[in-house]
């Protein structure tokens, strides 16, 4: 997959910005707060139909604006052209997504069509943060590689909300009859999500082992372990997972009434990262965290490339500011070997001596504009 061009209107601080991208490396250079990350956010919006930062569409609309628009031409590995357009109308609070002129009815159907991997400073929460941050990472990778997962996850969230409402309204009193149908749905959808995460984590394990080896010189063995709120095995069937959920729900019935919230299901899953058998979260150094994260993202790239049958685009937001020059160069040459990449940076230093041409372009971003046209061959 490649992004040939993109046209942003009224998106964050970009009033009207047009990019004609290089086919391999695109560097967005500029001082702090100029709109580099915003441009990457727009690109990811095309692929994910939403922002990877903001939860509400209106947030990415230019302040005091009434709409935003992102238009782009994407090219698949097989050479097929996709004219993609996203528009948001603030008055009607509606978002429209079209591909080659046709309206997309279900936004979830777009996810995975244009696979994307994002490495940004916010991602540090994947290794440092709470279980929810790790679930979000896992969900985004699975979502891009499995259509039904997105829909199951959406439905599951709705079920948990409903169920929590019943538990909260019961105020600790028995509500067995109201909650019974929701228990069944919780188990149906919850077990599908647990089953998929279980399968994903075992399939993903060799990818992370390999990329970690590629990135780290010394031998450290990374591991990702699935720790759901019910006990299952790596090869548990859907029926076994559902049975385990049912059992656990019965066991937690009183606790759920007392705490007025759903205590069993994939929204309580933990995913544990470790290096040489030691939990990353509790024992790893800053550098080990960073390396693990880069390895995760590169592994995600290869995983999606295989599953989606399409090379993902790779967005690297401000990754070099935290790495020393040696590691930065290593990451850069690795990233360049993957596919089309988009890099934001405040310093050109690491690209010193690079040639700029149709494959490799540099855009100087200032106050939400491309201040200088890129050099082309
Ligand atoms: N909805 C919005 N409307 C207008 N401007 C916005 C909006 N959201 C953010 N901005 C502005 O965008 C700028 C930040 O842009 P961005 O995050 O892309 O900067 P950056 O170039 O990546 O900087 P840094 O190097 O610090 O990461 C800020 O000046 C902010 O005020
Ligand atoms: Mg930024």
Per-residue confidence (pLDDT) for residue 329, from 0 to 100:
85
36 Cα–ligand 2 center, Å: 6
| Phi-psi map region of 30: left, alpha, beta (phi>0 left; psi -120 to 50 alpha) | left
Report the candidate in 267, 268, 368, 353 with the shortest Cα–Cα distance to residue 28.
368
Cβ(41) to ligand 1 under 6 A? no
Identify which ligand lies nearest to the alpha carbon of 345. Answer: 1
Report the candidate in 96, 94, 38 with the shortest Cα–Cα distance to residue 71.
96
Among the atoms of ligand 1, which is closest to the Cα of residue 59? 1
Question: In angstroms, rounded to a whole number, what is the distance separating the alpha carbons of residues 241 and 191?
Answer: 6
> Considering only 26-40, 72-86, 328-342, which range has the smallest mean pLDDT?
328-342
Give the gyration radius of the chain's Cα atoms: 22
- Total-model pTM: 0.93
Per-residue confidence (pLDDT) for residue 227, from 0 to 100:
95
Topology, domain 122-309: Glutathione S-transferase Yfyf (Class Pi); Chain A, domain 2 (1.20.1050)
pLDDT digits (tens, 9 = 90+) for 98-112: 999 999 999 989 999
Residue with tokens 């310093």: 347
pLDDT digits (tens, 9 = 90+) for 11-68: 999 999 999 999 999 999 999 999 999 999 999 999 999 887 777 899 999 999 999 9
Give yes or no for residue 377 having a pLDDT over 60: no
Report the candidate in 208, 201, 251, 205 with the shortest Cα–Cα distance to residue 229.
251
236 Cα–ligand 2 center, Å: 43
The answer to whether residues 196 and 142 touch, using CB atoms and an 8 Å cutoff, is yes
- Between CA 100 and CA 106, with CA 102 as vertex, the angle to 5 degrees is 115
Q: Which residue's CA is minimally distant from atom 17 of ligand 1?
A: 37
Q: Which residue's CA is minimally distant from atom 5 of ligand 1?
A: 13
Spacing of C-alpha 314 from chain mean position? 11
Spacing of C-alpha 339 from chain mean position? 18
Residue range(s) in the chain whose domain bears CATH number 1.20.1050.90: 122-309
339 vs 286, residue with greater confidence: 339
Cβ(32) to ligand 1 under 6 A? yes
33 Cα–ligand 2 center, Å: 7
pLDDT digits (tens, 9 = 90+) for 240-277: 999 999 999 999 999 999 999 999 999 999 999 999 99
User: Is domain 1-115+312-377 annotated with CATH 3.90.1150.10?
Assistant: no
40 Cα–ligand 2 center, Å: 9
Cβ(63) to ligand 1 under 6 A? yes
pLDDT digits (tens, 9 = 90+) for 174-233: 999 999 999 999 999 999 999 999 999 999 999 999 998 888 766 788 999 999 999 999
Task: List phi, psi (to 5°) of 87.
Answer: -130, 150
The set of residues, in sequence order, having a beta carbon less than 8 Å from that of 69 and lying 6+ positions away, is 7, 8, 9, 10, 11, 85, 86, 87, 88
Cβ(261) to ligand 1 under 6 A? no
13 Cα–ligand 2 center, Å: 12
Question: In angstroms, rounded to a whole number, what is the distance separating the alpha carbons of residues 174 and 172?
Answer: 7
């Amino acid at each position: 997959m490649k992004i040939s061009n993109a046209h942003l209107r009224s998106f964050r601080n970009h009033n009207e910005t047009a990019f004609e991208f290089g086919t391999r490396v695109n560097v967005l250079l500029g001082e702090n707060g100029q709109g580099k990350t915003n441009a990457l956010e727009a690109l990811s919006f095309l692929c994910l139909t939403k922002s990877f930062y903001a939860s509400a569409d209106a947030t990415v609309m230019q302040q005091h604006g009434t709409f935003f628009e992102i238009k782009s031409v994407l090219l698949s590995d097989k050479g097929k052209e996709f004219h993609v357009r996203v528009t948001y109308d603030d008055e009607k609070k509606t978002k429209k997504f079209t591909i080659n002129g046709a309206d997309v009815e279900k936004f979830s159907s777009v996810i995975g069509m244009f696979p994307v991997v994002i490495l940004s400073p916010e991602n540090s929460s994947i290794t440092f943060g709470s279980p929810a941050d790790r679930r979000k990472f896992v969900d985004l990778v699975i979502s891009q590689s499995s259509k039904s997962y997105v829909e199951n996850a959406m439905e599951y969230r709705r079920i948990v909300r409903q169920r929590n409402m019943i538990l909260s309204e019961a105020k600790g009193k028995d509500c067995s009859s109201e909650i019974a149908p929701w228990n069944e749905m919780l188990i149906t959808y919850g077990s599908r999500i647990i089953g998929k995460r279980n399968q994903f984590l075992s399939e993903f394990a060799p990818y992370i082992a390999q990329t970690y080896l590629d990135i780290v010189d010394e031998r450290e063995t990374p591991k990702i372990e699935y720790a759901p709120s019910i006990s299952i095995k790596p090869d548990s069937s859907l029926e076994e997972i559902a049975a385990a959920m049912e059992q656990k729900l019965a066991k937690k019935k009183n606790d759920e009434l007392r705490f007025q919230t759903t205590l069993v299901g994939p929204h309580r899953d933990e995913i544990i990262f470790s290096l040489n058998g030691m939990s990353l979260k509790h024992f790893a150094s800053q550098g080990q965290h960073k390396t693990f994260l880069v390895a995760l993202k590169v592994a995600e790239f290869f995983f999606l490339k295989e599953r989606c049958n399409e090379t993902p685009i790779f967005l690297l937001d401000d990754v070099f500011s935290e790495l020393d020059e040696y590691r930065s160069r290593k990451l850069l040459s690795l990233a360049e070997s993957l596919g089309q990449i988009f890099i934001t940076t405040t310093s050109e230093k690491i690209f010193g001596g690079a040639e700029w041409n149709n494959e490799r372009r540099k855009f100087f971003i200032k106050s939400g504009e491309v201040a200088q046209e890129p050099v082309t061959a």
